[in-house]
């Protein structure tokens, strides 16, 4: 075992709804202790800033470019994360000098794996300066330099958690993170890792709800619960080459779009997209080395009962059970943030963050850029 570090992870995902934060004590191999966690939502002004940044980022051709107002968006985002760290520390009676490292994901504004290009805005040195804590950031880029897709990065943390999966759950088990984009991680009996993005998660539902109601998401699945699945719409999405290709690839927000306005009712659209989330996961899971018996769900999608019902109903026809991470003793809301804390410690030790079976990288590689606190 290496030296145990106290690390904070910060994650702002493709849903762009807020910042997840989690504290972890780990040596980058075993998880020693799960600390407190939290969620700090973005207000409407910040969400509008990120939406505008997505449009601006389409012109980027080199990872470090910050055209037009993207540099200012990056500064605003970094300061929002710094404020989150300070608030979190104050809330839990912690001091900055008790934290060894921050793992900072930033906000993905462009992801084009076929072009070897991924852009997460977030100024690591500024975050270190504002918090007084060293930072590891930009953890996806080195994977792409070595031929990987740059995503998903969380599987190595899922593998650490799988070592403590309660015995009552049948294996093989697959961890499913339902964020804006869903991804899954298979851990074999011998520790074999296989992972990839599985399709749209909350992203399409969130976009559909916001476009029609102005709300950021379908709280409690209330809108979807009043609707019905439109099979022809599901079939259209499932005809995407993403699901039929033998090559697994990571996704960008723009790879799937919500239905056209007026194509279906608000309620039917939400229900159909909830069904699609489960269908996409199971179709993508068919490319795993063997079928899952248990799906452990983390991320915001586990809080939408309609998504969970649709996923569980479809999985049952294949003889598999779907459970929320909490049913396995984990914190499904903090898992991605904890993963970024774990990855930061691995980065400090030069341990691999990605593997050929997770991102398609040529060989296991580490990653991340270190920013010293001042």
Write out the DSSP string of 201-251: SSHHHHHHHHHHHS-SS-GGGHHHHTS---HHHHHHHHTSHHHH-SS----
Q: Give the distance from CA 124 to its chain's centroid.
A: 19
Is 80 exceeded by the pLDDT of residue 284?
A: yes
- Alpha carbon distance 269, 8 (integer Å): 38
Residue 299 is predicted with a pLDDT of 87
Residue 193 is predicted with a pLDDT of 87
- Alpha carbon distance 5, 303 (integer Å): 31
Sequence-distant (≥ 6) Cβ neighbours of residue 207 within 8 angstroms = 257, 258
Average pLDDT of the residues of the chain: 94
Residue 210 is predicted with a pLDDT of 93
Buried/exposed code over 137-150 (b: 16+ C-beta within 10 A; e: otherwise): bbbbbbbbebebbb
Sequence-distant (≥ 6) Cβ neighbours of residue 95 within 8 angstroms = 89
Residue 1 is predicted with a pLDDT of 66
> Which pLDDT tens digit goes with each residue over 299-353?
889 999 999 999 999 999 999 999 999 999 899 889 999 999 999 999 999 999 9
Is 80 exceeded by the pLDDT of residue 57?
A: yes
> Which pLDDT tens digit goes with each residue over 72-105?
999 999 999 999 999 999 999 999 999 999 999 9
Is 80 exceeded by the pLDDT of residue 191?
A: no
pLDDT band per the 50, 70, 90 thresholds, residue 358: very high
Percentages of the chain per state (helix, strand, coil), in multiples of 5: 40, 20, 35
- Alpha carbon distance 174, 321 (integer Å): 10
pLDDT band per the 50, 70, 90 thresholds, residue 254: confident
What phi, psi does 180 have (nearest 5°)?
A: -60, -45
Percentage of the chain beyond pLDDT 70 is 100
Neighbour-count burial of 126, counting CB atoms closer than 10 A to its CB (0-12 exposed, 13-18 middle, 19+ buried): middle
Q: Give the distance from CA 175 to its chain's centroid.
A: 12
Any idea which of 244-258, 263-277, 317-331 has the lowest mean pLDDT?
A: 244-258
Sheet with 321-324, side-by-side order of all strands: 193-200, 181-187, 173-178, 294-298, 321-324
Residue 221 is predicted with a pLDDT of 97
Residue 32 is predicted with a pLDDT of 86
Cβ proximity of 148 and 354 under 8 Å: yes
pLDDT band per the 50, 70, 90 thresholds, residue 146: very high
């Amino acid at each position: 075992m290496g030296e145990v570090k106290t690390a904070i992870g910060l994650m702002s995902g493709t849903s762009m709804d807020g910042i997840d934060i989690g504290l972890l004590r780990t040596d980058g191999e075993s998880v020693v202790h799960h600390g407190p966690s939290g969620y700090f939502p973005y207000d409407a002004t910040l969400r509008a800033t990120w939406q505008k940044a997505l449009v601006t980022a389409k012109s980027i051709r080199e990872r470090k470019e910050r055209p037009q107002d993207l540099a200012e968006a990056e500064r605003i985002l970094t300061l929002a994360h710094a404020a989150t760290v300070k608030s979190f520390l104050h809330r839990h009676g912690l001091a900055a000098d008790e934290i060894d490292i921050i793992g900072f994901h930033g906000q993905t504004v462009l992801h084009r794996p076929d072009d070897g290009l991924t852009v997460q805005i977030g100024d690591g040195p500024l975050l270190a300066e504002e918090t007084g804590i060293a930072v590891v950031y930009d953890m996806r880029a080195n994977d792409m330099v070595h031929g990987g897709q740059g995503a998903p990065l969380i599987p190595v943390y899922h593998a650490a958690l799988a070592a403590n999966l309660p015995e009552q759950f049948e294996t093989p088990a697959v961890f499913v993170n339902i964020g804006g984009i869903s991804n899954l991680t298979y851990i074999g009996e011998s520790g074999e890792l296989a992972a990839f993005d599985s399709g749209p998660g909350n992203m399409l539902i969130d976009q559909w709800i916001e476009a029609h109601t102005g709300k950021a998401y379908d709280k409690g699945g209330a809108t979807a619960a009043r609707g019905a699945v439109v099979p022809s719409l599901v079939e259209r999405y499932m005809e995407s080459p993403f699901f039929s290709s033998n090559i697994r690839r990571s996704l960008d927000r723009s790879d799937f779009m919500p239905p056209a306005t007026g194509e279906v009712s608000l309620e039917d659209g939400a229900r159909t997209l909830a069904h699609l989330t489960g269908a996409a996961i199971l179709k993508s899971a068919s490319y795993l080395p063997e079928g899952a018996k248990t799906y452990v769900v983390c991320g915001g999608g586990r809080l939408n009962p309609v998504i969970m019902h649709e996923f569980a109903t479809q999985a049952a026809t294949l003889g598999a059970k779907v459970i929320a991470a909490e049913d396995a003793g984990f914190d499904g809301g903090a898992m991605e943030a904890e993963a970024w804390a774990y990855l930061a410690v691995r980065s400090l030790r030069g341990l691999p963050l990605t593997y050929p079976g997770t991102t398609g990288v040529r060989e296991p590689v580490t990653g991340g850029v270190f920013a010293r606190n001042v």
